């Protein structure tokens, strides 16, 4: 075993390991990268059925319905809009606690043949710790939230807060 042949082995081993890693990564990237799309983008250039995407936007108020077509599994349907177009979404499962009509959601799933979006996972973006920057600024400015005294009020109350409740608190 000379120094040169050891180096050859080492370089060869590294090349093998990392080319394997690169190959797997590229292959997985081509199949598993999840693009984020807004409803208008989905309608403009529909992804191939079965291709997983993330659909983000707001839940159209009044669009949430419960469907119990698939036997025992509780299934819901609602529409997600980005202000330009809306996409109907079907979801089997328990909606997150913070899911509300009129709030932002992100749904992970794929388009189905009938033009609706089959969601495997629904995430409510407006959790306790997340808030769009402008909303936080607006709340601070409006006096509805003073960051010195803690966390912002919950998403549900942003728009529902009345003058009385603000004065009362």
Partner 1 sequence: MPGALFLSLLLSPELGRVALALAACLALAQFALPLLGAQRGDPRLMATAPALAWGQLACLALAFVCLAAAAVGDDFSVRNIAENSAVAKPLLYKLTGIWGNHEGSVLLWSLILGICGAAVAWFGRGLPTSLHARVLAILGGTACGFELFCLLTSNPFDRVWPAPMDGHGMNPLLQDPGLAFHPPILYTGYVGFAVPFAFAVAALLEGRVDAAWGRWVRPWTVAAWCFLTCGIALGSWWSYYVLGWGGYWFWDPVENASLLPWLTGTALLHSAIVVEKRESLKIWTVLLAIGTFSLSLSGTFLVRSGILNSVHAFANDPTRGVFILGLLGLVIGGALLLFALRVHTLTAGGLFAPLSREGALVLNNILLCAICAVVLTGTLYPPFASLLFGQAISVGKPFFDATAVPMALPIFAAMAIGPMLPWKRARLAPVISRLWWAAVLAALAWGWSAFGIKGLLPILAFGFAVWVIAGAAADLASRTQLFRIPVRDSLRRARMLPRAALGAAIAHAGVGVTVIGLAGMSQAEHAIVSVHTGESVALAGYRWTLTGLADARGPNYTARVATIAVTRDGRPIAVLHPSRRDFASQGQVTSEVAIHTNLVTDLYAVLGDEHGSGAGHTAVLRLHDNVLAPWMWLGALVMAIGGGLSLSDRRIRVGAPTRARHRLPVPAE
Partner 2 sequence: MTALARRRVLALLPFGAALAAGGGFWAMLSGMRHGSFDPHDIHAPVLDRTVPAFDLPAQAPGTGFSSADLRAITRPVLVNFFASWCIPCVQEAPVLAELGRKLPIWGIAYKDQPDNAAGFVARTGAPYARIAADRPGLAAIDWGVSGVPESFLIRPGGRIAWHLAGGLTQPVIDTELMPLVARFGG
Among 44, 67, 156, 166, the residue binding partner 1 under the rule CB under 8 A is: 156
CA distance 128 to 155: 8
Q: Write the CB contacts of 2 (distance below 8 Å, at least 6 apart in sequence).
A: none
Q: How many CA atoms lie within 13 A of 144 on its CB side?
A: 19
Q: How many other C-beta atoms are found inside a 10 Å radius of the C-beta of residue 14?
A: 10
Task: Compose the 5-34 pattern: x for residues touching partner 1 by CB under 8 A, - for all others.
Answer: -x--xx--xx-xxx-xx--xx-xxx-xxxx
Q: Which of residues 53-112 bind partner 2 (CB under 8 A)?
A: 56-58, 60-62, 81-84, 102, 104, 106
Q: From the centroid of its chain, how far is CA 3? A: 53
Give the interface with partner 1 as residue ranges (CB under 8 A).
1-3, 6, 9-10, 13-14, 16-18, 20-21, 24-25, 27-29, 31-36, 52, 54, 66, 68, 72-74, 92-95, 97, 108, 127-130, 148-151, 153-154, 156-157
């Amino acid at each position: 075993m000379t120094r040169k042949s050891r180096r050859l082995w080492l370089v060869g081993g590294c090349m093998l390991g990392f080319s394997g890693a690169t190959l797997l990564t590229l292959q997985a990237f081509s199949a598993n990268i999840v693009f984020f799309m807004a409803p208008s983008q989905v309608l403009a250039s529909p992804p191939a059925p079965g291709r997983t995407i993330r659909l983000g936007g707001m839940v159209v108020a009044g669009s949430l319905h419960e469907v119990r077509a698939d036997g025992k599994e509780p299934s819901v349907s609602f529409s997600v809009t980005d202000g330009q177009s809306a996409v109907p979404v079907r979801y089997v499962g328990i909606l997150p606690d913070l899911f509300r009509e009129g709030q932002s959601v992100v749904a992970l799933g794929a388009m189905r043949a009938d033009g609706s979006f089959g969601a495997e996972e629904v995430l409510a973006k407006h959790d306790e710790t997340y808030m769009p920057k402008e909303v936080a600024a607006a709340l601070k400015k409006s006096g509805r939230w003073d960051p010195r005294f803690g966390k912002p009020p919950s998403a549900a109350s942003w728009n529902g807060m009345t003058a009385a409740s603000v004065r009362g608190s």
